[in-house]
Amino acid sequence: MVHPKAMKSDITYKDINEDILNVITKTGSGYYIVLACTSVLTVLLYFLPWAYQIHVGQGVTGLNVPDLWGVYLVNFVFWVGIAHAGTLISAMLYITNTPWRRAIARSAETLTFFGLILASMYVFIHMGRPWKFYWTIPYPNQRMIWLNFQSPLMFDVFAISTYFVSSSVFLYFGMIPDLASLRHRVTGWRRRLYTFLSLGWRGTDRQWYVQGRACMYFASFIIPLVVSVHSIVAWDFALSIVPGYHKTIFAPYFVTGALFSGFAGVTLMMSVVRWFFPVIRKYITELHYDRIGIFLLVLSLVWSYLTVMEVITGLYTNTSQEMESLKYKLLTSPYSYLFALMIFSNSIVPLLFIFRKIRKTVNIMVVMSVFILIGMWLERYLIIPNALSRKFLPYMWHDYSPSWVEISITAGTFFFLISMFMVFLKVFPIISLFEVKEDSIPMKGGGGH
Amino acid sequence: MPGIIDRLSKRLKAYRTPGYYKKYDYHWTMVVDLDKCNGCAACVVACHAENNLPTVGKDECGKSRAFNWIRIERYVEGEYPDVKVKFIPIMCQHCDKARCELGCPVYATYHNQDGLNVQVYNRCVGTYTCATYCPYDVRRFNWFTYKWDEPLDQQLNPDVSVREMGVMEKCTFCIQRIRVAKDKAKDEEREIKDGDVQPACVQSCPTGAMVFGDLNDPNSSVSKLAKSRRTYRLLEKYNTEPSVIYLKRVMDGSSKGHEERHHV
């Protein structure tokens, strides 16, 4: 099968260097204004409310006795989900050697990196005593206190830290040749940074071989890891006996949902980069949108099937608790209309991806991925606090609604992401130079890997 | 190597076998006779006084954050002239197979050798998992650093710690009293006798609806009551094996008490 070429083939090496380097070195005033705005908003909406919450206590949230897992955990699962697609796209396409991977791989991996940072931040925001977070790490201590390895939260600590380490190493390994070629073109602290980070890369055959092998090993390691990490996140819920949580379907359901929201996140991320830096449009083309649209269509169908199955699993248990939980989720809860919105944005809107024309229209793709992201956030919201609102004893039934602190921190996350991403954009190349170069002229003899 | 695995699996199996705790001295159990309970909530007040529970005030109570280790659940049945109100006091059930113990990542909650489900406040990091997993919703979280109103701060029990903001807590079966009774019994070189130790709620119950004792002792009053035909445990089918035994209320003319609904 002949892969259609992802980019226009008249781009030269020089153009690539210029284009991508200019993103790093040429900074207009607009950039600083946007960065200043997002940083200020991050502090105001994210860090100050969090500081207030730590100072006063978790009571400033809307959490309450049956509803002890609220919006913070929803956001945690959401961002872990977003983090899942990035590295998976990159690793999967790396192994299959798909040419259109090259322009989007770096931005997808970056999304994983930041998604995991944001997700782990939510663990700390969620904790009652975040200053004791190190107690969840197995370190030798004189009092011989060990951790509870039966606890699914313990699995989480290991799964997410493993995933974070391996995906950032994968991101870094893929960046070494770029950092090496950048170090000669910049001055000052950047030069020292790139020289240090490029680990003495000289571009010998041996080095290309080792780098390619390393990326290949990590790619093959990460693909199963992605599945296991989000399954473990699902077990946080499935291993309890709470009606609405206690379902064996949760692991595949969560993994599918994670990939679904993650692919939508990558689409959005690519579009933001294209919008900010028009020159990137040469490298991230409609072909990429077309391919991701196919992925999104398939994932939407699988997700819809699993959603139906999740409801049916609940019906099938036929206990009064499970039925009450389902009734609450679908009908009686003050948020039951959100279920319809979720189905609309996750099952009905993505059906438009059937049409190639829509897949190739960037603006429509952006709108649709925003819909999917909202729908996937709602999915987690409808599972996590909603199920807890109707536990076993009717006396304790309680409706949950987030407080302003929770809403503000949730909104602040997006500005936090944008700020971090904008800084990243100016320090590291958002498009893989060497891989795009491989793409711009026909490869001879297989190349480095 | 196979020898080690055999040994380990035997040991793990022993921990998981019901009755494991019988080889220890005590299996603390409470029997609540719902036929005697009139819902006066003396147990709730006694628990507040004994265990240094904060009084959270009107606003927090309005958000249903009332801070009780034991609560009287009220269920009203029927339309106006024919109304039936039923009470059931619910405290930590000290399950032998406790879900909360599975969830805690740092072992802040664990099972001790007396069959008690123990909470270590100092170890708690506040992940809420225990309370989320708990089917009885009996765990309470310290949302703020609570302050006691004027004379109440003078009556804090010195045997019980005052908990800090951000930790989970729950009924302990008044473990401080059990400790004292054990010490005393040890000094006198004997076992704890039936009636030596009473949690605050049991002590204060005016109708004697609550009885506390050691289920391992066949002659204790709880063992005798546990043989009643009215016994059930809350949400029994979820296999949590609670240490609190309820005696079903005998309703005149109706065999469908709400207690029965629960345990179905």
Q: How far apart are CA B258 and CA B264, in angstroms?
A: 10
Give the residue with greater pLDDT, A187 vs B117. B117
Contact B97, B112 (CB under 8 A): no
Q: Smallest Cβ distance to A59: which of B103, B129, B144?
A: B144
In a domain, A447, yes or no: no
Contact A116, A81 (CB under 8 A): no
Q: Which residues does residue B73 pair with via DSSP β-bridges, in sequence order?
A: B88
In a domain, A8, yes or no: no
Q: Smallest Cβ distance to B126: which of A65, A128, A150?
A: A128
The token pair at A94 is 């790396």
The token pair at A215 is 């990326």
Which of A288, A286, A257, A276 is closest to A381 using CA atoms?
A257
Per-residue confidence (pLDDT) for residue B262, from 0 to 100:
47
Cα distance from A59 to chain B (closest Cα, Å)? 4
Whether the CB of A140 is below 8 Å from some CB of chain B: the reply is no
Indicate the SS3 state at residue B39.
coil
- For the stretch A340-358, pLDDT in tens is 999 999 999 999 888 888 8
In a domain, A448, yes or no: no
pLDDT band at B78 (very low <50, low <70, confident <90, very high): confident
**Which residues from A are below 8 Å from B60, CB to CB?**
59
The token pair at B185 is 């019994």
The token pair at A147 is 């951790």
- For the stretch A361-390, pLDDT in tens is 888 999 999 999 999 999 999 999 989 999
Determine whether A360 is exposed, middle or buried from the number of CB atoms within 10 Å of its CB (0-12, 13-18, 19+). Answer: middle
Total of domains in chain A:
1
Give the residue with greater pLDDT, A261 vs A279. A261
In a domain, A168, yes or no: yes
CATH number at residue A376: 1.20.1630.10
Q: How far apart are CA A95 and CA A19, in angstroms?
A: 28
Contact A324, A377 (CB under 8 A): no
Question: What residues make up the domain containing A35?
Answer: 13-137+146-440
Q: Smallest Cβ distance to A388: which of B71, B132, B143?
A: B132
Which residue in chain A is spatially nearest to B61 when comparing CA positions? A64
Determine whether A127 is exposed, middle or buried from the number of CB atoms within 10 Å of its CB (0-12, 13-18, 19+). Answer: buried
Q: Smallest Cβ distance to B143: which of A58, A157, A398?
A: A58
Q: Which of residues 112-131 of A touch B (CB under 8 A)?
A: 126-129
Q: How far apart are CA B260 and CA A239, in angstroms?
A: 27
Q: How far apart are CA B256 and CA B78, in angstroms?
A: 13
Quote the DSSP letter at residue A403.
Answer: -
Average pLDDT score over residue span A238-248: 90
Per-residue confidence (pLDDT) for residue A178, from 0 to 100:
86
Determine whether A86 is exposed, middle or buried from the number of CB atoms within 10 Å of its CB (0-12, 13-18, 19+). Answer: buried
In a domain, A446, yes or no: no
Indicate the SS3 state at residue B213.
strand
pLDDT band at B19 (very low <50, low <70, confident <90, very high): low
The interaxial angle of helices A433-440 and A101-126, nearest 10 deg, is: 150
Contact A218, A91 (CB under 8 A): yes
3-state helix, strand, coil in chain B (%, to 5): 35, 15, 50
Distance set, CA B241 to CA A331, B19, B95 (Å)? 33, 11, 5
CB contact under 8 A, B90 and A393: yes
Q: How far apart are CA A137 and CA A161, in angstroms?
A: 10
**Tokens 């249903």, located at residue:** B64
Cα distance from B7 to chain A (closest Cα, Å)? 20
Cα distance from A62 to chain B (closest Cα, Å)? 9
pLDDT band at A204 (very low <50, low <70, confident <90, very high): confident
**Tokens 């390994």, located at residue:** A173
Quote the DSSP letter at residue B191.
Answer: P
Q: How far apart are CA A155 and CA B71, in angstroms?
A: 34
Q: Smallest Cβ distance to A128: which of B63, B123, B166?
A: B166
The ipTM of this complex is: 0.85
Q: Smallest Cβ distance to B132: which of A157, A240, A396?
A: A240
Per-residue confidence (pLDDT) for residue A119, from 0 to 100:
93
Average pLDDT score over residue span A62-76: 91
Query: What are the residues of chain B with a beta carbon less than 8 Å away from any beta carbon of chain A?
Result: 60, 63-65, 71, 73-75, 90, 99, 101-107, 123-129, 131-133, 135-137, 139-145, 165-168, 235, 238, 262
Distance set, CA B48 to CA B137, B155, B174 (Å)? 18, 11, 11
**Which residues from B are below 8 Å from A236, CB to CB?**
129
Which of A380, A300, A304, A291 is closest to A335 using CA atoms?
A380
Quote the DSSP letter at residue A4.
Answer: P
Strands B231-232 and B244-247 come out as antiparallel
Per-residue confidence (pLDDT) for residue B18, from 0 to 100:
56
Average pLDDT score over residue span B158-179: 92
**Which residues from A are below 8 Å from B140, CB to CB?**
65
- For the stretch A139-192, pLDDT in tens is 888 877 888 888 999 999 999 999 999 989 988 988 888 888 888 888 788 888
Phi, psi of B75 (to 5 degrees): -130, 125
Q: Sheet containing B231-232: which strands, arranged edge to edge?
A: B210-214, B28-33, B244-247, B231-232
Q: For A92-191, list the strands marked E by DSSP.
A: none
Per-residue confidence (pLDDT) for residue A270, from 0 to 100:
85
All structural domains of chain B with their residue ranges: 19-263
The token pair at A75 is 């956001």
Q: For the domain bounded by B19-263, which CATH number is listed?
A: 3.30.70.20
CB contact under 8 A, A58 and B235: no
The token pair at B127 is 């992940």
Phi, psi of B74 (to 5 degrees): -110, 135
Q: How far apart are CA B4 and CA A437, in angstroms?
A: 57
Contact A232, A254 (CB under 8 A): no
Q: How many CB atoms lie within 10 A of CB B162?
A: 15
Q: How far apart are CA A372 and CA B165, in angstroms?
A: 38
Average pLDDT score over residue span A267-295: 83
Contact A160, A117 (CB under 8 A): no
The token pair at B22 is 């019988």
The interaxial angle of helices A71-95 and A362-389, nearest 10 deg, is: 130
Vertex A101: Cα angle to A100 and A104 (nearest 5): 105
